[in-house]
Structure 1
Amino acid sequence: MNMTTTEEDKPSQKLDRKSVHRDSVGILSIEGVRLDHLADAVGTPFYAYSSRAITNAYQDFRSALGPDIGICYAVKANGNLSIIALLAELGCGMDIVSEGELQRVVAAGARRDGVVFSGVGKARAEIEAALAAGIHQFNVESVAELELISAVAASHGVEAPVALRVNPDIDALSHDKISTGRKGDKFGISIDEIASLYPRASAMHGIRLVGLATHIGSQITDLEPYRKAYKRIAGLTRHLRDLGQSVTRLDLGGGIGIDYGSGFKLDLRDFASVIRETVGDLNAELTVEPGRRLVGEAGVLVAEVLYSKPHADFDIVIIDAAMNDLLRPAMYNAVHPAETVSPTACRPRKCRIVGPVCESSDAFGSFDHLPELSSGDLVAFLAAGAYGASMSSTYNARPLIPEVLVSDGQFAVIRRRQPVEDLLALERNPEWHSASSGSEFGVKAG
């Protein structure tokens, strides 16, 4: 059964109840905390996440996969220290793609020996830091990277645990910008090259070759690409073993999609069945690397309406959140489900919600189910826990916004609103300009 959707799917009016519900008076709330009260406390815009939703998402994975398949959270989805710490306490490993993410994992108290280092561009300093930390595994994506890891590890008198990332030439049937397993994508080593490379890699100094890895994309909504990719990995594993090579680990990647309002649902038990059917008989240590599916539906972005510009058939509604806060609509043409925080008796009025950044792409989508919006109204964008805050920027000199974690009626600010002074403090006047002007920049961090 084909369940394929795209990033451009128009959201329905269904409320995402995994993290948000309306309380007895109709106010959007997370675990008993009203979003309007959070807005009063921290100002808008802000992100809020449900601890319970993240916990439930992890437990759903663990229940479906059983105790023998490892789970490593893709930190790039949301790298907040509190989110990492919550998942680490649940027993989750970590999948990282940079030294900065390694430092986040360490700072959050996650186990270093549960870390998988993915990514196509690992620099020498990053390799050295990961070796010093004693991570679980490097997922190697090119021959050149393999040779560098070999040289660095050998120079330090250690062995790097390495899995070769296979590009299986499988289309994930997802958005073009988040598909990673097709021939010509920058990720992984062609499946046609692995059989000749594997014996060479196993003989390299400083390399402890443990197996294979693959990852075909993100926001995947159809199991068939997984089935095809895993069958190819299974066939490759058997071929390598027939050649006398040891393949003890298989990293199967992540990418399982979430519901952005279309009603999509991929049952994790069906995903687990695909794993068992394709690679379950290989007697290998198996790992998956979900990101979006663990945190995406746990988060909301709350913004305040600044102005409304009436047109004949619709309104242009300008809010105080922008593409620098939530990039996905501008980058992927994605549309997050939107709801008003407070109930209203106003009739629906078609609107296009946009942000204040000076780009035409700074738009959140068109909606025909929302009531007529006015200055001061609060709007919540649902399913915003993944690739929201983690992809945010300071474009237009807009500081990073707060992140709030909610748990059973209480909340904590887990990233404060960044003062503009913090941005200015990163920059320095060149000496020749200081000499001529007689002063440094005058604004200091508070």
Structure 2
Amino acid sequence: MKLPGHPDVAYRDGQLHLDDLPLRELAARFGTPLYAYSRRAMLAALAPYQRALAGREHLICYAMKANSNLAVLQTFAQAGCGFDIVSGGELERVLAAGGDARKVVFSGLGKTRAEMARALEAGVRCFNVESEPELEVLAEVARAHGTRAPVSLRVNPDVDAKTHPYISTGLKGNKFGVAHDRALHAYRRAAELPGLEVVGIDCHIGSQITESDPYLDAIDRVLDLVEAIESQGLRLHHLDLGGGLGITYTDEAPPAADALIARMLERIDARGHGHREIVLEPGRSLVGNAGVLLTEVLYLKSGEAKNFCVVDAAMNDLMRPAMYEATMAIVPATLRDAAPSTYDVVGPICESGDWLGRDRALAVQAGDLLAVLSAGAYGMSMASNYNSRGRAAEVLVDGDQAWLIRDREDPRALFAGEHLPPAR
């Protein structure tokens, strides 16, 4: 029995499998809490992007903030992807995983001089610049290193992505990008600076977007700017249309990636811009439904107003419910022939905000395993050591094989870099 929206997660003989492996076997082998990712599912999610762009000059840059494990990066690098990064640390991860710096676009609105210098040294493909002051600093850093920095300005089109306000990035009130009405001025300035080479234009309006219209509205706004910029004698080689396509967590129905891209390309071609290279930056849609978080039921606790299913995973392992009030499916790893009860699924952390799911109907006992679905994106990448909890282990699954791709964090590792002053 397959689960809607999760093609690589299915029950067989009452046991929940990821690819061809029972999740209870992964838990027995690697312990819990445990993140498990399907390589097969990641590549299947990438395929419609590749199909839709076949025959066109393009680059798919995986937005690695969604999940930055080296094995995940290696999977996409070997599939021909580039990477969308937002920090110097992410650049080092790309290089460590065998990624090509020439396929890296460096986004983010707070790049430091040191990060700029390292990215120039590595030879990144493009800097997505997010403010006019950043243009000046990047030009200065590039001149000091005797080179020119390839730049694309991230334009804020003031388009409502109709998503959670914390992950909406294309409105006037958001901190990202150059305001639409300042973009032409900023491009003129970029062209004047000797340390810069203008190569494209960038737009990213948010994350977990489940409708097509916001993308099409943003494209029209961006193409208006392209035409105004090129009327000034500048030439833009590529259109970076960002990412942000949503996934199915519970009942969401985002457009298929290839269908969405077909509509976007149709709009671009109709306006006479089909000759330009297309850059896309998908993240969540490539890894979100490829991952699960496994956790053990510790206690079933009855309260006056609520029943609580206390598990060994917590908000430090999975921040999305506490931060965004996100709803993620939670299912038992083994089906029981028993009537379900309603529980809030909560962790051990000393916060009332430490919950993974509310009002869930579950037939479980202490010692059972639960799987939080759609946990491949913004799970481990946002994990912390709050309450001095070691971060979970991670495994990569491919068919009937599994590899440990991150060790479980030992408590001693939590303070290995800390130092006591001399005793008084």
Q: TM-score, normalised to structure 2's length? A: 0.96
- 1:220 and 2:209 are equivalent in the alignment: yes
Q: CA deviation at 1:265?
A: 3.6
Superposed, 1:241-256 pairs within 5 Å as 241-256=230-245
Given that residues 64 and 84 in structure 2 are in contact (C-alpha distance below 8 angstroms), is that contact kept between their aligned partners in structure 1? yes
Q: Which residue of 1 aligns with 2:416?
A: 425
Superposed, 1:26-425 pairs within 5 Å as 26-68=14-56, 69-280=58-269, 281-282=272-273, 283-311=275-303, 314-371=306-363, 373-425=364-416
Given that residues 15 and 21 in structure 1 are in contact (C-alpha distance below 8 angstroms), is that contact kept between their aligned partners in structure 2? no
Q: Deviations over 1:294-321 (max 9, x none)?
A: 0000000000011111246752111000
* Distance in 2 of aligned mates of 1:254 and 1:17: 21
Q: CA deviation at 1:31?
A: 1.6
* Distance in 2 of aligned mates of 1:175 and 1:124: 32
Q: CA deviation at 1:82?
A: 0.3
Runs ≥4 residues deviating over 6 A: none
Q: Which amino acid aligns with 2:280?
A: V
Q: Deviations over 1:254-301 (max 9, x none)?
A: 000000011524122321123213323312211010000000000000
Given that residues 306 and 318 in structure 1 are in contact (C-alpha distance below 8 angstroms), is that contact kept between their aligned partners in structure 2? yes
Q: CA deviation at 1:360?
A: 0.7
Percentage of pairs with the same residue: 45
Given that residues 230 and 275 in structure 1 are in contact (C-alpha distance below 8 angstroms), is that contact kept between their aligned partners in structure 2? yes
Given that residues 399 and 419 in structure 1 are in contact (C-alpha distance below 8 angstroms), is that contact kept between their aligned partners in structure 2? yes
* Distance in 1 of aligned mates of 2:86 and 2:305: 46
Q: Which amino acid aligns with 1:243?
A: Q
Q: Which amino acid aligns with 1:409?
A: D
Q: Deviations over 1:330-373 (max 9, x none)?
A: 000001101100110011211111111111111112244321x2
Query: What SS does the aligned partner of 1:169 have?
Result: coil
* Distance in 2 of aligned mates of 1:129 and 1:122: 11
Q: For residues 17 and 200 of structure 1, do their structure 2 counterparts lie closer, same or farther at Cα, with a shift above 3 Å needed?
A: closer
Q: Which residue of 2 aligns with 1:440?
A: none
Given that residues 19 and 299 in structure 1 are in contact (C-alpha distance below 8 angstroms), is that contact kept between their aligned partners in structure 2? no
Q: Which amino acid aligns with 1:165?
A: R
Given that residues 14 and 261 in structure 1 are in contact (C-alpha distance below 8 angstroms), is that contact kept between their aligned partners in structure 2? no
* Distance in 1 of aligned mates of 2:252 and 2:156: 31
Query: What SS does the aligned partner of 1:19 have?
Result: strand
* Distance in 1 of aligned mates of 2:79 and 2:259: 23
Given that residues 210 and 252 in structure 2 are in contact (C-alpha distance below 8 angstroms), is that contact kept between their aligned partners in structure 1? no
Q: Which has the higher strand share?
A: 2
* Distance in 1 of aligned mates of 2:34 and 2:124: 34
Q: Which amino acid aligns with 2:46?
A: Y
* Distance in 2 of aligned mates of 1:334 and 1:118: 26
Query: What SS does the aligned partner of 2:163 have?
Result: coil
Q: Which amino acid aligns with 2:184?
A: A
* Distance in 2 of aligned mates of 1:173 and 1:88: 31
Given that residues 257 and 293 in structure 1 are in contact (C-alpha distance below 8 angstroms), is that contact kept between their aligned partners in structure 2? yes
How many residue pairs match? The answer is 419
* Distance in 2 of aligned mates of 1:16 and 1:376: 27
More divergent stretch after superposition (325-334 vs 198-207):
198-207
- Structure 2 unaligned spans of 5+: none
* Distance in 2 of aligned mates of 1:327 and 1:308: 22
Given that residues 87 and 115 in structure 2 are in contact (C-alpha distance below 8 angstroms), is that contact kept between their aligned partners in structure 1? yes
Q: TM-score, normalised to structure 1's length? A: 0.92
More divergent stretch after superposition (269-278 vs 211-220):
269-278
How well do the aligned residues superpose, as a CA RMSD in angstroms? 1.4
* Distance in 1 of aligned mates of 2:3 and 2:392: 27
Given that residues 19 and 49 in structure 1 are in contact (C-alpha distance below 8 angstroms), is that contact kept between their aligned partners in structure 2? no
Given that residues 330 and 357 in structure 2 are in contact (C-alpha distance below 8 angstroms), is that contact kept between their aligned partners in structure 1? no
Q: Which amino acid aligns with 1:189?
A: V
Q: CA deviation at 1:62?
A: 0.6
